[in-house]
Amino acid sequence: MSVIYDRVALIGLGLIASSMFWAMKRAGLAGEVTGYARSAETRDVAREIGLCDRVCDSAAEACKGADLVVLCVPVGAMEQVACDIAPVLKPGATVSDVGSVKKAVIDAVGPHLPAGVHFVPAHPLAGTEHSGPRSGFAELFDNRWTLIVPQDGSAREAVAKVEALWQGMGAHTEEMDAEHHDLVLAVTSHAPHLIAYTMVGVADDLRRVTDSEVIKYSAAGFRDFTRIAASDPTMWRDVFLNNKDATLEILGRFTEELFALQRAIRTGDGEHLHAYFTRTRAIRRSIIEAGQDTDAPDFGRGKRDG
Amino acid sequence: MSVIYDRVALIGLGLIASSMFWAMKRAGLAGEVTGYARSAETRDVAREIGLCDRVCDSAAEACKGADLVVLCVPVGAMEQVACDIAPVLKPGATVSDVGSVKKAVIDAVGPHLPAGVHFVPAHPLAGTEHSGPRSGFAELFDNRWTLIVPQDGSAREAVAKVEALWQGMGAHTEEMDAEHHDLVLAVTSHAPHLIAYTMVGVADDLRRVTDSEVIKYSAAGFRDFTRIAASDPTMWRDVFLNNKDATLEILGRFTEELFALQRAIRTGDGEHLHAYFTRTRAIRRSIIEAGQDTDAPDFGRGKRDG
């Protein structure tokens, strides 16, 4: 693969940025990659493990001369970073991000970017329960989707280059508008995360069942929830605060359905339960057929770095 | 390992029974293993793949002369099976089961067993999203817990043999009373399953997000829920109908907490969300430290038959 950008700057050096770095290096997509993280400790780790060709001590320094700047910080920190880097952005440069919500990020970042800079928000649908600079790996985006949310006035060429970068890192890409993105993600990611966090919290609270029992006997079901509920707290706080409306809408629907199933349990309506569980099983099959998971016991992850 | 039972009968030939068969064979724990399934198709598959030394055409035939009978049918089918086999049970034989709820199974099965037969209910905390005779594998129980629920009047020797069998199949064992078992499982398994079923159903219902979007973009979170929500519908219908009180209690607690988090989102209380998510992350660490999951990306499943 050939170089797409001569100079890329990654702002924020967690799971996504570090995976992007290794994926860009794997495919030779970028000339020099600079990086910046707010925490000195993170910058030290990055230097130690060779994450980024050059780790800078300010966001502005990292962005100076960059052809592409990717904001990889929690959604709530995007606006401040945009303010910090706006003065140094090169005319014709592209700014992108990897935030899990799009409308709030666009509202927070867009107004600060100077004319002549292209803004192409993006969201890779990939992650693990781990965070920080050491958690990244080149294969994270392979065969996963990255949603691209072009803005009115984004030059087509700038959008096409961002898509080419993600494809070069292994992802499929699709364009979507911000509002629809936020609704789709509320269903497929944000509401499930809040629900998992809630269930794990309930288990922890319940004094009639000891913590050690919850931990020892956490078979399928709860154990999967704990994995989801171990994701980065700051990132997820910002997701919920910034995708408030769609998340609350889905949670409202969820509560309605849950009450209906609870009533079926209470009244002994086995037919209702069986029909419901049969329908959800069919959805699982569709996901496997779509290649977004496997039905092997290791979920197709055996090839990764475990 | 040496033979623990000369004759074992497995009634019901799904994921758990077939895994038990392969695990007993792996360690040489049983002389002859007979099997029975209500469906002729399942019996044919069992004969084809060599599941059980002898597949019988009635439960009574399979149980004749058995030293240990293990009921591996859905919880709602246990009572009928107990009635069918009671007349042929050998004096001194042990009857066990693998049901996910214990109080209801004990109430359903116990009264039908003749005097002189030992009843030692058990519950292996292991499973996958798959079901049926082809889905079993010898390693399913390795390093997992099996809870043993001895009854008043169970001979200690009979209990000890059931525990030895499970340990021989790779499991850790612990004794627990039926009511506490049902509460612990409501927290760690039953409520999480109902919640996952609900969320997957909501996604399927939501017409503003297409099915194909839900399927394509089912990143971490929803994808894990669909795996949980793909478990056997009949088994789970019976679990909820037979562990009604504990499941409804936990779901009540869950709804309370969910409403509190929803309010924190609505009012923008980021501190509350962050503190909650930090606490649930700590629980995940405890589970990994307890050896009931790994933090490798493949969840330690790489060694299995995927």
pLDDT of residue B212: 75
CATH fold match for the domains A5-176 and A180-268 = no
Residue B286 has pLDDT above 90, yes or no: no
CB atoms within 10 A of CB B39: 11
> What is the ipTM for the molecules in this complex?
0.84
Shortest Cα distance, chain A CAs vs residue B246, angstroms: 11
Report DSSP letters for B69-129, one per residue: EEE-S-GGGHHHHHHHHGGGPPTT-EEEE--S-SHHHHHHHGGGSPTT-EE--EEE----S
In 3D space, the residue among B57, B47, B117 whose CA is nearest the CA of residue B82 turns out to be B117
pLDDT of residue B153: 76
Enumerate the residues of chain B whose CB falls inside 8 A of the CB of residue A196. Answer: 221
B201-220 average pLDDT score: 75
Q: What are phi and psi of A155, to 5 degrees?
A: -65, 135
What mean pLDDT, rounded, does chain B reach? 90
| pLDDT more than 90, % of chain B | 75
| pLDDT more than 70, % of chain B | 93
Enumerate the residues of chain A whose CB falls inside 8 A of the CB of residue B258. Answer: 194-195, 198, 251, 255
pLDDT digits 0-9 by tens, B174-197: 999 999 999 999 998 999 999 999
pLDDT of residue B49: 98
What mean pLDDT, rounded, does chain A reach? 90
Max Cα–Cα distance, chain A, nearest Å: 67
Report the range of poorest mean pLDDT among A61-70, A272-281, B92-101.
A272-281
Mention the CATH class of domain B180-268: mainly alpha
The CATH code of the domain at B5-176 is 3.40.50.720
Shortest Cα distance, chain B CAs vs residue A175, angstroms: 12
A190 vs B264: CA distance, rounded Å:
15
CB atoms within 10 A of CB B254: 22
Contacts (Cβ under 8 Å, ≥6 apart) of B48: none
Enumerate the residues of chain A whose CB falls inside 8 A of the CB of residue B15. Answer: none
pLDDT digits 0-9 by tens, A212-265: 787 778 766 788 888 888 888 999 999 999 999 999 999 999 999 999 999 999
How far the first Cα of chain A sits from its last, in Å, is 27
B199 vs B131: CA distance, rounded Å:
22
pLDDT of residue A215: 76
Residue B253 has pLDDT above 50, yes or no: yes
Helical packing angle, B233-242 and B244-267, nearest 10°: 100
Of A188, A213, A218, the CB nearest to B221: A188
Q: Do the Cβ atoms of B258 and A195 come within 8 Å?
A: yes
Q: Which tokens in the block code for residue A244?
A: 């408030």
A78-105 average pLDDT score: 97
Domain spans of chain A?
A: 5-176, 180-268
Contact A97, A71 (CB under 8 A): yes
A71-75 average pLDDT score: 96
Kindly give the residue spans of alpha helices, DSSP state H, lying in A38-131. 40-49, 59-63, 78-85, 103-109
Max Cα–Cα distance, chain B, nearest Å: 67
pLDDT band (50, 70, 90) for residue A210 = confident
Shortest Cα distance, chain A CAs vs residue B169, angstroms: 17
DSSP 8-state symbol, B306:
-
Of A219, A248, A277, the CB nearest to B237: A277
pLDDT of residue B205: 76
Residue B297 has pLDDT above 60, yes or no: no
Per the model's pLDDT, the better-predicted residue between B266 and B289 turns out to be B266
pLDDT band (50, 70, 90) for residue A288 = confident
Contact B16, B166 (CB under 8 A): no
Chain B nearest-CA residue for A180 = B209
A116-127 average pLDDT score: 95
Residue A147 DSSP SS3: strand
A129-138: string of b/e by CB count within 10 Å (b at 16+)?
Answer: bbbbbbbbbb
pLDDT digits 0-9 by tens, A129-158: 888 999 999 999 999 999 999 998 789 999
